[in-house]
Amino acid sequence: MLSQTTEYALRVVAHLATLDKPATTHQIALATQVPEGYLAKVLQGLSRAGLVASQRGLHGGSVLALPPDQVTLYDVVQAIDPIQRITVCPLRLKTHGTRLCAVHRRLDAAIGAAEAVFKESTLADMLAEQSISKPLCESDVTDDKTAGKFRPVKLTVRQKAAFPRQRGRGK
């Protein structure tokens, strides 16, 4: 039901929601197991939707643009690969039109149920759940270049100014 790109985007926002400072593309790719070359496309889609903010430069990187309690799974999915409800016969049968057959009614109901769960699930909700597994990410990913850089810290005033919160979610 979800594309690979959407899965990657969910991993990225889940990871960024755990950080209090910008993360480089390399750090994000390591933690989320998203191919580094493909990550730019994912980040671009999330940025266009106002979910991620990025800045180049020495202390640059990507951050979640909204608090985790304001980002739903639905927001992420819609930013990357919007959910398509079935409103007319996918087979284009003239006798069906908008009167869906039993199969397509049930498929649309399943899509609607998934959509409802996504709308009710925020990043904060997922991160607050008690589990030994961190959502969609490795918990202690390091290499010699990034050792120790995944520990959350408070943003400095300068970093906060560099990463202003973007516009609210469009619903």
Per-residue pLDDT of the chain (171 residues; tens, 9 = 90+): 789 999 999 999 999 999 989 999 999 999 999 999 999 999 999 999 999 999 887 778 999 999 999 999 999 999 999 999 988 888 777 777 778 888 888 999 999 999 999 999 999 998 888 776 666 655 444 444 443 333 333 444 444 444 444 444 444
For 62, phi then psi, to 5°, come to -120, 145
Contact criterion met (CB below 8 Å) for 76 and 10: yes
Q: Supply the CATH classification number for the domain 4-81+123-162.
A: 1.10.10
N-term to C-term CA, the chain: 21
CA 165 to CA 118: how far, in whole Å?
23
Single pTM value for the model: 0.73
